[in-house]
Every structure is written in C-alpha cells, then in structure tokens.
Amino acid sequence: MRSVLRSVPPLTGRLRTAVVAGPFLAVTVAFAGIYAAVSGRLPDPLATHFRYSGQADGFTSVQGFLTESLALFLLLGAVVGFFVQVRPDAPEVPWVIAGGYALAGSTGYVVCVTLLSNADAADVSAIRVPQWEVYLSLAVALCAGALGRLLVGAAPAAPRRPRGAVSRLDLPAAATAGWSRTIGSPPLAVLGGLLLVGGLLIGLFADWIASAGLLFGAAVSLPLASVRVTVDRRGLTLAPALLSSRCRFRRIPLDRIEEAGSRHIACFAEFGGWGYRIRAGRSGFVLRSGEGIVVRLTNGREFVVTVDDAATAAALLNTYTDRARSR
C-alpha cells in the first residue's frame, strides 16, 4: 500500500476540501434517500438502541432520530475539517482524513440499518438486529478508511532539521538552572471534556454503570491534554499540569541518560499516533508533530517528547549529565 500512496501526489486546496467533506455528504444523501423510501412504513417511536444480543431496548421518536443523526454527521465532519484546516501540512493529516472516512462509513451504516430494521415493524420492542451487522459495520469502516487514505494521496513532506552535534549549556560549575514548558493538546482536552459531560449526564439521568466507560475515558484523556516537561538537576520529568506535581507520568534520572538532542518528530510516521507511544527500541510522549527532545538512554533505547524550545532543554540535560558523570 505504501508504494501506491507514494505514486499519488498529496491533495491541496479545494480538491482536498472536497475529499474531506465527501464521505459525510455521501452518508447524508444515502440516509435521506433511505428515509424517503421508508418514511411511510416507519413506526413512531423507532427502536434505536439494541443490546449485544440484538434485542431492542431503547426508543426514540422519528423526528428526534433524524435530528440526532444529521447533527452527528455535521459534528463529525466539522471536527475532521477543523483538524485538517488547523494544520494542513502536518504529516498526520492523511490519517485524520482516513479516520473521518471510517467514522462516516460506520455511523452511516448504523443509522441506515436502524431505519431499515424499523420499516414495517408492528411491534418495535420485538425488533432484533443480528450480531453480524456489528461486524459488517466494522468492515465498512475499514474499507472506507482505506479508501480515504488512498484518495488523499501521499503525506506532505515534513521539513527535518539536521541532527548536528549534541550541544551543552554554558553554565558555571557552581550554578544551577531549570527549564520547563507545558505542552497541550486542544483536541484531547475537548474530547476529555465531552466524555466527562456525557458520562455525568448519562449517570445522572440514566445509569452510572452505563456511564463508567465515558468517565474512565475522561479520566485518561484530561490529564494527558496538558503536560509539563521539566529539566533540572534531577533529570527529565513529565507531569500532568492539571494534577499535583507529585503525580508524574515519567521521570528519567541523570544516571540513565547517555546524551540528549533535539530534532523534528513526525507523530504518525515514527510512532503511529498521539499520546504515550511505545515502539521497538524507543518510546515517547508525542502530542503533535514538530520539535522534540530525544534522549538516548544508557540501555540503548530512545525516549522522545515533542515540546517547544527542545534544543535548550537538551543542552541543559547534557550539562547536568556531564556533571553527574564527573562526580
């Protein structure tokens, strides 16, 4: 597949906008067409939620289901479009568009199947959706995502800085210094907030057990949305900005550091996504593509973190590492 992608030039301008919006417009048209075909045969309310066994256990009015479905398509399309417009040249943009295709395909399939399952139903409580429909929706999502990735073409080439020599900070022997920056992910903060609000609403008005998954997702997403990176005489520390300084994601002491440097880091090309990532021979905390600290550990592995002013942090870390060795 990589050879196919390399042969397709990256999309730009209006053509990319059309590709981004295409799947959401397609599922909206398909949904409207199916509704027009079966509107006279639909009960009111509709069975819109089903247990794992396929038995209907949730019901919504026809008008409410139409409004919610169209609003969902609009929201998903707006979120994907926002990500693409904010950083149009980021190397992860093609995968964001592919994810939009997968979301559009899966959600469109689900709402269309829901309409067709309700058509001509005399008793909505007796409606059943077979389990194979769930697996088929996953297959539709994978196929749609692959199509989107092919249509968007090759990822834009990210400018890379030469690694160069590892630098040191000119710090007097008796002096100490510290360096700290906060890295944030607005999309992750929005996601965590939505999960938290959704979990609280479901817990208050329905069932706390049903909201446990959403609340757990919020508890994981919100601390990761803003992280403080610190370099001092103790080494490199990553701690959530929203929690106490005693809560740390990772601390690398000086005796485990061989040397530190800085370079451009591509999230998807190198680590396959955002967050705390683990790969063969390396790991890292990456919330975006761009400048980052690269720490080579004494065991031969690498640890990276994307943050602004990474060169200064790496230089200070090397200075403290040299001091620790000299002792």
Per-residue pLDDT of the chain (327 residues; tens, 9 = 90+): 444 444 444 555 567 778 888 888 888 898 889 888 888 888 888 888 777 777 787 788 888 888 888 888 888 888 888 777 766 666 667 778 888 888 888 888 888 888 888 888 888 787 888 878 878 888 888 888 888 888 877 655 544 444 434 677 777 777 788 899 988 877 777 788 888 888 887 777 666 777 788 888 888 888 888 889 999 888 999 988 877 667 788 899 999 999 998 888 888 778 877 788 888 788 888 888 888 999 999 888 999 999 988 988 999 999 888 888 887
Q: How far is CA 169 from CA 149, 193, 254, 318, in A?
A: 44, 40, 15, 8
pLDDT of residue 294: 92
225: CB partners within 8 A, 6+ apart: 184, 185, 186, 188, 189, 192, 242
CB 161 within 8 A of CB 292: no
Task: Using CB atoms within 10 Å of the CB of residue 165, give its burial: 0 to 12 exposed, 13 to 18 middle, 19+ buried.
Answer: exposed
* Confidence (pLDDT) at 305: 92
**pLDDT score, position 157:** 52
User: What letter does residue 272 receive in the DSSP assignment?
Assistant: S
- Whole-number pLDDT of residue 156: 56
Residues pairing with 230 in the sheet: 180, 237
Quote the CA–CA distance of 211 and 203 in Å, as a whole number: 5
Residue 51 to residues 25, 68, 128, Cα–Cα distance (Å): 29, 20, 9
Rounded Cα distance between 302 and 295, Å, is: 6
Amino acid at 140: V
Per-residue pLDDT, 12: 55
3-state secondary structure of 117: helix
**Type and span of the H or E element at 206:** none
